[in-house]
């Protein structure tokens, strides 16, 4: 401690002597050069008149190696703590925002203040305007009096989802059993999920359409226009981003058990040319329908076959192939209907 005190006194003494020398030099300069610039005078006047407290850099010279190491560690710990605090606060803000969006989703309404122009609007022959709503990564369109794909509270959806997940877990356990009849187990599981949809009245579903970058704008223009006119189901939506190379369009109906309504929506899709017809040898008829689909879209090709899927399977994250939470169960088919199930003669 005595050594450090002595060094500090020596430093202050040298500092005071330096300041005296600077003051003497200033006096000499003033006498020999009276025309000193204003900036130089200000800089000279800014010099401190007396000894000041040593700065952090000055004091560092009197610290031991151990004290320097400890100080650097404390500074690093403080910086890390501040970074973690910023990340925690940012994560909390994102979580709060997501909770607010789930608790107060954007209301589906044709009177929504956002009016988004359809893709390729110049090719729309009709004067009918289509009001779209952006919500959770989708472009939505309802017709007059339409409703969302289902009308359940968040708590009700969670309860239904829990029952469905229990069925799927049971399926997984059964498939692990020796000599398990996998085909039978998978079929029974899908039947149980369909029955769950009926019991809980979670019976809405949708026709699924898939298009690439070159076709999606024209396909959605046709579907959105037809939906808003009441020619399809209660609502439709189009993904803002592709799933792999394809964009998906969902065209809803309120109850999968109503085959006549499901078929009516399918026939509407056929009429506007986004889905193929239901009878063999109708390729020429489909081409004519596509050309009548509302103008524009030369070379447009609709889906040859479309499928209808229950909303319950979607909220359970059940998909065909290797995607989805339950991909290892290999449930198939995960769709309720195919367009081949509905012929024009039905």
Fold of 121-341: RNA Cap, Translation Initiation Factor Eif4e (3.30.760)
Cβ pair 229, 128 in contact under 8 A? yes
- Using one digit for the tens of pLDDT, what is the confidence trace for 133-160? 888 899 999 876 555 555 788 899 999 9
Taking only the tens place, the pLDDT of each residue in 158-189 is 999 999 999 999 999 999 999 999 999 999 99
| pTM, rounded to two decimals | 0.60
At 273, is the pLDDT very low, low, confident or very high (cuts 50, 70, 90)? Answer: very high
Pairing of strands 133-135, 235-239: unpaired
The answer to whether the CB of 211 falls within 8 A of the CB of 246 is yes
In this predicted model, what pLDDT tens digit does every residue of 25-49 receive, in sequence order?
A: 666 655 554 444 444 444 445 445 4
Q: Which residue has the tokens 């006498």?
A: 31
CA–CA separation, 173 vs 127, rounded Å?
A: 57
pLDDT at 286 (0 to 100): 44
State residue 111's pLDDT score. 37
């Amino acid at each position: 401690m005595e050594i450090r005190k002595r060094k500090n006194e020596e430093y202050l003494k040298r500092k005071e002597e330096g300041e005296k020398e600077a003051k003497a030099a200033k006096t000499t300069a003033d006498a020999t050069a009276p025309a000193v610039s204003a900036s130089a005078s200000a800089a000279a006047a800014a010099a401190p008149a007396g000894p000041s407290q040593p700065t952090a850099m000055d004091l560092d010279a009197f610290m031991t190696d151990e004290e320097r190491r400890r100080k650097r560690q404390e500074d690093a710990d403080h910086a890390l703590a501040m970074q973690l605090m910023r990340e925690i606060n940012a994560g909390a803000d994102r979580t709060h925002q997501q909770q607010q969006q789930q608790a107060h989703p954007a209301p589906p309404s044709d009177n929504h203040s956002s009016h988004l122009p359809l893709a390729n609007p110049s090719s729309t022959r009709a004067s009918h305007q289509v009001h779209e709503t952006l919500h959770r990564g989708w472009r939505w369109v309802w017709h007059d009096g339409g409703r969302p794909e289902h009308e359940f509270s968040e708590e009700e959806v969670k309860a239904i989802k829990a029952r469905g997940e229990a069925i799927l877990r049971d399926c997984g356990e059964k498939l692990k059993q020796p000599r398990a009849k996998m085909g039978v187990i998978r079929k029974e599981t899908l039947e149980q999920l369909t029955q769950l949809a009926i019991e809980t009245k979670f019976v809405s579903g949708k026709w699924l359409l898939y298009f690439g970058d070159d076709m999606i704008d024209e396909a959605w223009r046709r579907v959105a226009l037809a939906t808003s006119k009441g020619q399809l189901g209660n609502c439709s939506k189009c993904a803002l981003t592709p799933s792999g190379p394809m964009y998906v369009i969902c065209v809803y109906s309120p109850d999968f058990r109503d085959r006549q309504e499901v078929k009516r929506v399918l026939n509407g899709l056929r009429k506007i040319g986004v889905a193929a017809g239901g009878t063999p040898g109708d390729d020429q008829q489909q081409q004519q329908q596509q050309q009548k689909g509302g103008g524009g879209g030369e070379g447009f090709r609709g889906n040859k076959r479309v499928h209808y899927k229950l909303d319950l399977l979607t909220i359970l994250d059940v998909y065909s192939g290797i995607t989805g939470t339950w991909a290892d169960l290999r449930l198939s088919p995960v769709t309720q209907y195919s367009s081949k199930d509905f012929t024009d003669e039905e």
